[in-house]
Amino acid sequence: MLRRRDLLGLGAWSAAAGLLLRARADEDGLLQAVATPQDLETPLGFFDRLITPTSVFFVRSHFGPPSLDLGRRLTIDGMVGKPLELGLADLEKLPQVTLTAVLQCAGNGRALHEPRVPGVQWRHGAMGQATWTGVRLKDLLDKVGVAPDARHVRLAGADRAPKPTVPKYLRSIPLARALDPTTLVALRMNGEPLTLAHGAPFRLVVPGWAGDHWIKWLTHLRLQKDEAEGFFMNTAYKLPKTPVAPGAAVPPEQMQSLSTIPIKSIIARPADGASSKAGAQEIVGVAFSGEAAIDKVEVRVNDGPFVAAKLEGPSVPFAWRVFRHRFEAKPGKHTAVARAIDVKGVMQPETAVWNPSGYFWNAWHRVQWEVVA
Amino acid sequence: MRSACLLLVVAMTVACRKSESPPDGAVQPAASTSAVAPPLDPALLVRDNCTSCHSDDLIAQQRLTAAQWTKVVTKMHGWGSPLADQRELDAVAAWLAGKYGPTAGPHAMPLVGAAAVAAALSPQPDGPFSSTDVAGGKTLFAQLCTACHGPEAQGDKLGVNLVDRPLLFRAADVARTVRTGRGKMPPFPALTDPQIGAILSYLRTLRPAL
């Protein structure tokens, strides 16, 4: 019998290299926040389109990936009638669903909060939109038979901390979110098998929720009564229950776990500090709002009024839409600011709500550029 | 085989001793003031106690107050950074606060090509490191590596986890680190290609607990 480890050693090189090196030489790269473990931002200029190419899609993990192992198994156990273990081939045989959703790190924009807080100092690029294809988690949970008093699904991946003294990266989602038909065990991203950096062979997809729930290299789902244990559930990824003054210390009992990503828009072009030629100008960017669809994006140029930008892409939950606003400009300094409004009428706030871990920066994005003759 | 191992142990011992001497540029202890502890080199402490788990860019991008740095360094020490004592913690926190405080200049992220990003994780052919000597690798690992990396290679006080990592399929990179050392890790210059290959073949058989 060929062991899964042998696959790499015995000539699956081309397949493995294909998964890892699906990068095009003619594309730009990523902004390297951290070399080891890799934390990489998508450059702003790519936020002018509906789908972010996989090769420039942001990368985040706490400890770096495990080895590439397409033989990895997914175990579902705990408060279930019949535990289940599946491999890639088993998952591929089940009905596949494809959806388009934004993936955003909870800490995206941390470097823009004042006062500054520790953590990866993301600016704008820890987000992207892709199509995700895989099996509904609900279909898998139906197979195992969830016990009536189970309330949470504990999520674990194959990545390990560098030392046993570092807490394991564990999260959980409430059972209701796990049973939502949009929660997937994804095998593919943008139509291709997941790359190692993005969770190969399979990862969780929780549309509308921050990236900390989208567990990569998924190996273990456990049905249980309580939330997952440990630092990454009990201490990290928490927001104050009510807004606090910037810089305030917040006692643990005043904090709650974060989940859905708040409404946000980002201007891809013109880049802040750039210059452009006099005449036709275009403000372009993306807008999204957790579990609600985007209804409108308004752009203000200089001291003018907010005007509705033209939108591309369907107004559907979980997905971002591209906005464009065109106008003529004479030479001189120009500023633009964008704000999004979702179908529930929620408007992006002018300033972001500071919080002790620097999550969910979503203030109006302002850019200034020089128009030259 | 036994004599080769003996040589390696000797080499390791020499290397460990060598690593104890102060590196170039370190502040030398003051002469004959035995009551005063020798000054510490915070930059070296950061290199040796932080960057085996994460690269130093994660540190350099922070803009934190002295109180925040103290909290971060204390948290990292609790998570396994092998800083020896409170004096070392204090020295590192103070140095980081001076260098990466709230008023330090902007931190720029380098743009890295998409192909280079992918290549950093990709497996490489084993070439001269190709080995099926799992048993020999296990013996070598037990003799040379477990003191720091733990008996099951899951990481310990000094060494990091070596189970189920992409680097196990990047033998040339591993060989470079093993032979030149890294931070507190001493160099093992006498290890041959087949010996490094054997250690890797053993490590590849290990799986993390669920």
A165: which chain B residues are within 8 Å (Cβ-Cβ)? 78-80
Give the closest of B52, B54, B155 to A34, CB-based: B54
For β-strands B111-112 and A321-329, DSSP reports them as unpaired
Put simply, the answer to whether A25 touches B210 (Cβ < 8 Å) is no
The pLDDT assigned to B3 comes to 43
Chain A CB within 8 Å of residue B121 CB: yes
Which of the four pLDDT bands, split at 50, 70 and 90, describes residue B37? Answer: confident
State the nearest Cα–Cα gap between A172 and chain B, in angstroms: 16
Architecture of the domain whose range is A264-372: Sandwich (2.60)
Task: Return the H-helix or E-strand segment holding A234.
Answer: helix A231-234
- For the stretch B103-162, pLDDT in tens is 999 999 999 999 999 899 999 999 999 999 999 999 999 999 999 999 999 999 999 999
Q: A111 near A121, Cβ under 8 Å?
A: yes
Q: A245 near A366, Cβ under 8 Å?
A: no
Each residue's pLDDT, cut to its tens digit, for chain A (373 residues) gives: 334 443 333 334 444 444 444 433 335 799 999 999 999 999 999 999 999 999 999 999 999 999 999 999 999 999 999 999 999 999 999 999 999 999 999 999 999 999 999 999 999 999 999 999 999 999 999 999 999 999 999 999 999 999 999 999 999 999 999 999 999 999 999 999 999 999 999 999 999 999 999 999 999 999 999 999 999 999 999 999 999 999 999 999 999 999 999 999 999 999 999 999 999 999 999 999 998 999 999 999 999 999 999 999 999 999 999 999 999 999 999 999 999 999 999 999 999 999 999 999 999 999 999 999 9
Angle, alpha carbons A18-A24-A28 (nearest 5°) = 140
**Domains of chain B by start residue, with CATH:** 39-103 (1.10.760.10), 119-203 (1.10.760.10)
C-alpha dist (Å) from residue B102 to A33, A111, A120, A213, B67: 18, 11, 15, 31, 11
Residue with tokens 């309580």: A226
State the nearest Cα–Cα gap between A326 and chain B, in angstroms: 29
| Sheet bearing A152-157, strands edge to edge | A84-86, A74-78, A218-224, A152-157, A170-174
CA A75 to chain centre: 24
The pLDDT assigned to A12 comes to 40
A37: which chain B residues are within 8 Å (Cβ-Cβ)? 54
B156: which chain A residues are within 8 Å (Cβ-Cβ)? 163-164
| Largest interatomic CA distance in chain A | 72
State the nearest Cα–Cα gap between B204 and chain A, in angstroms: 7
B102: which chain A residues are within 8 Å (Cβ-Cβ)? 115-116
Give the closest of A16, A25, A164 to B123, CB-based: A16
A115: which chain B residues are within 8 Å (Cβ-Cβ)? 65, 102
Average pLDDT estimate for B163-170: 97
Most B CBs within 10 Å, among A67, A194, A218, A272, to test the B interface: A67
Tokens of A263: 């409404």
CA A324 to chain centre: 23
Put simply, the answer to whether B166 touches A66 (Cβ < 8 Å) is yes
**Euclidean distance between CA atoms A361 and A350, whole angstroms:** 11
A85: which chain B residues are within 8 Å (Cβ-Cβ)? none
**Euclidean distance between CA atoms B120 and A264, whole angstroms:** 32
The pLDDT assigned to A27 comes to 52
Which of the four pLDDT bands, split at 50, 70 and 90, describes residue B175? Answer: very high
Query: How many CB atoms within 10 Å of residue B186?
Result: 22
A118: which chain B residues are within 8 Å (Cβ-Cβ)? 62, 64, 68, 71-72
Query: Which residue of chain B is at minimal alpha-carbon distance from A25?
Result: B115
Give the closest of A65, A121, A161 to B62, CB-based: A121
Query: Which residue of chain A is at minimal alpha-carbon distance from B62?
Result: A118
Q: A103 near A127, Cβ under 8 Å?
A: yes
Query: Which residue of chain B is at minimal alpha-carbon distance from A11?
Result: B125
Q: A39 near A197, Cβ under 8 Å?
A: no
Give the closest of B53, B117, B122 to A40, CB-based: B117
Put simply, the answer to whether B210 touches A156 (Cβ < 8 Å) is yes
Query: How many CB atoms within 10 Å of residue B38?
Result: 12
State the nearest Cα–Cα gap between A224 and chain B, in angstroms: 16
Put simply, the answer to whether B55 touches A35 (Cβ < 8 Å) is yes
**Euclidean distance between CA atoms A265 and A364, whole angstroms:** 7
B161: which chain A residues are within 8 Å (Cβ-Cβ)? 160-164
**Euclidean distance between CA atoms A262 and B24, whole angstroms:** 51
Query: Which residue of chain B is at minimal alpha-carbon distance from A37?
Result: B54
**Euclidean distance between CA atoms A163 and A145, whole angstroms:** 36
**Euclidean distance between CA atoms A351 and A133, whole angstroms:** 35
The pLDDT assigned to B208 comes to 86
* ipTM reported for the complex, 2 dp: 0.91
Tokens of A86: 């599946």
Put simply, the answer to whether B80 touches A64 (Cβ < 8 Å) is no
Put simply, the answer to whether A67 touches B164 (Cβ < 8 Å) is yes
CATH topology assigned to domain A4-236:
Sulfite Oxidase; Chain A, domain 2 (3.90.420)
Q: A321 near A294, Cβ under 8 Å?
A: yes
From the number of C-beta atoms within 10 Å of its C-beta (0-12, 13-18, 19+), residue A303 rates as exposed
A161: which chain B residues are within 8 Å (Cβ-Cβ)? 155, 161
Classify residue A347 by its DSSP letter: B
**Euclidean distance between CA atoms A274 and A296, whole angstroms:** 26
Domain range summary for chain A, segments of one domain joined by +: 4-236, 264-372
For β-strands A218-224 and A264-269, DSSP reports them as unpaired
Residue type for position A317: P
Give the closest of A29, A69, A75 to B113, CB-based: A29
Which of the four pLDDT bands, split at 50, 70 and 90, describes residue B83? Answer: very high
Which of the four pLDDT bands, split at 50, 70 and 90, describes residue B12? Answer: very low
State the nearest Cα–Cα gap between B193 and chain A, in angstroms: 17
Chain A CB within 8 Å of residue B116 CB: yes
**Euclidean distance between CA atoms B76 and B88, whole angstroms:** 13
State the nearest Cα–Cα gap between B138 and chain A, in angstroms: 17
Q: What is the dihedral of CA A130, A177, A193, A211, to 10 degrees?
A: 60
Residues with Cβ within 8 Å of residue A312, at least 6 apart in sequence: A50, A321, A322, A323, A324
B171: which chain A residues are within 8 Å (Cβ-Cβ)? none
Residue A255 DSSP SS3: strand
The pLDDT assigned to B34 comes to 57
Put simply, the answer to whether B210 touches A219 (Cβ < 8 Å) is yes
Note the helical H segments in chain B. Answer: 2-20, 42-50, 57-60, 66-78, 86-99, 114-119, 134-144, 146-149, 171-180, 193-203
